[in-house]
Structure 1
Amino acid sequence: MDIQYVDTYELTRAGQEVHGQAPIDQFERLIEDLPEQADTMVSWTVKGEMDSFGQRFLRVHVKAAPMLECQRCMKPFEWPVDSHNRLEVVNSEAALNVDDAADADPDDAIIERILGSQRLDVLALVEDEIILSLPYVPKHDVCTLLSEPLEEEPDGDLARPSPFAVLGQLKKD
């Protein structure tokens, strides 16, 4: 299904679901600082729902596999993204900034809000979900591409002398 825009009010009122796929290179903000991307697809599902209090929500599920650059070995690697998020749809910008943290149960997750629209750009929402799922400093769990393992700091008597040891000698004199 090739859907670009949805009416969040109708989607949540009717409990509808939309889904689709798009090539990863269609998400320009996502890939602008990333290494060259493979011909992978991004899959997404957006489902509207309304609770018994009339609150509107979107459940967003995104699957993607962007190529990132490991900051240890500087080699590209695939980062699997399987993001599930629930967003509250609000009617005004003032409602976006309401602080529910004081009233919220500490065990409950704080729900993010988006402004409802009759023309929500689904692909921009999907792109935001992927961007938020990326690590701040991407790296392999284990860099198998390094020719030598990363050196560990030696322990005990084999440790390098402190650069401040010279100052200790001056103090004794």
Structure 2
Amino acid sequence: MEPLGRAETPNENPSRDVSYVDTYVLTRTGHEVSGQTPISSFERLIEDLPEQPASQVSWSVKGEIDPHGRHFLRLSVQAVPVLECQRCLQPLPWPVDAENRLRIVKSEADLDDEGSQDTEAEDMVERIVGSPRLDVLELVEDEIILGLPYVPKHDVCPSLPEALATQEPEPDEAEPSPFAVLNQLKKD
């Protein structure tokens, strides 16, 4: 059995354990690599977020080949980063449960060339360049970041008084509809 590849981090950050996989071996054999990693290990993710609780990110990467001989990675990620609500500025746990299928291509040129030739809806999957040393945690971190909202906010902020949270805004009837004004111009 060929090694899937597991390595320690380069010397600049020895405290972070990073899993590397050979995408070609993983897809050819159909193996799966999975794990749990503390959310604090994902530096790009948490750099602008509030302090994170000691939670784990669960992830798995499975290699597969379709009937046409194309290589894919199936990435699954579950995490609950804590964001800051932009209305009330209170903590907002945001569950991320993502599943993504990534097509492995051989070169950067294939990223663009194959994209123009594929027309089937199934072929509209994200592509990445295959590598004998793919940083799985970087791929997981990217998937979590893509799952975060641009402007996070509670559906109903917990710090709002209950009367304000349930009160429906009343339409302002003093202001005429712009279409009513146009209709008046049409009649004149």
Q: The TM-score by the shorter chain falls in which range?
A: 0.7 to 0.9
Structure 1, unaligned runs of 5 or more: 163-173
Structure 2, unaligned runs of 5 or more: 1-5, 7-16, 177-188
Match of 1:136 in 2: 150
1:155 partnered with 2:171: yes
| 1:60-139 map, 5 Å | 60-98=75-113, 100=115, 103-105=118-120, 107-108=121-122, 110-139=124-153
1:30 partnered with 2:49: no
TM-superposed deviation, 1:152: 5.3
Q: Is the 8 A contact 1:59 1:87 kept in 2?
A: yes
Task: Deviation per CA, 1:8-50: give whole Å up to 9, x if none.
Answer: 0000000010000110000000000111000000000000001
TM-superposed deviation, 1:82: 0.5
- 3-state secondary structure, aligned to 1:77: strand
- 3-state secondary structure, aligned to 1:129: helix
- 3-state secondary structure, aligned to 1:82: strand
Distance 1:149 1:101, change over 3 A: farther
Q: Is the 8 A contact 1:65 1:81 kept in 2?
A: yes
TM-score where L is the length of structure 1: 0.83
Aligned residues: 159
Match of 1:11 in 2: 26
**Identical amino acids, percent of aligned pairs:** 58
TM-score where L is the length of structure 2: 0.77
Q: Is the 8 A contact 1:3 1:20 kept in 2?
A: no
Bigger drift between 137-146 and 123-132 goes to 137-146
TM-superposed deviation, 1:53: 1.9
The amino acid across from 2:160 in the alignment is L
The amino acid across from 1:41 in the alignment is Q
Q: As a proportion of its length, which structure holds more helix?
A: 2
Match of 1:170 in 2: none
CA separation in 1, counterparts of 2:113 and 2:168? Answer: 48
* Greater relative contact order (CA < 8 Å, ≥ 6 in sequence): 1
- 3-state secondary structure, aligned to 1:89: strand
Q: Is the 8 A contact 2:39 2:55 kept in 1?
A: yes
CA separation in 1, counterparts of 2:171 and 2:68? Answer: 61
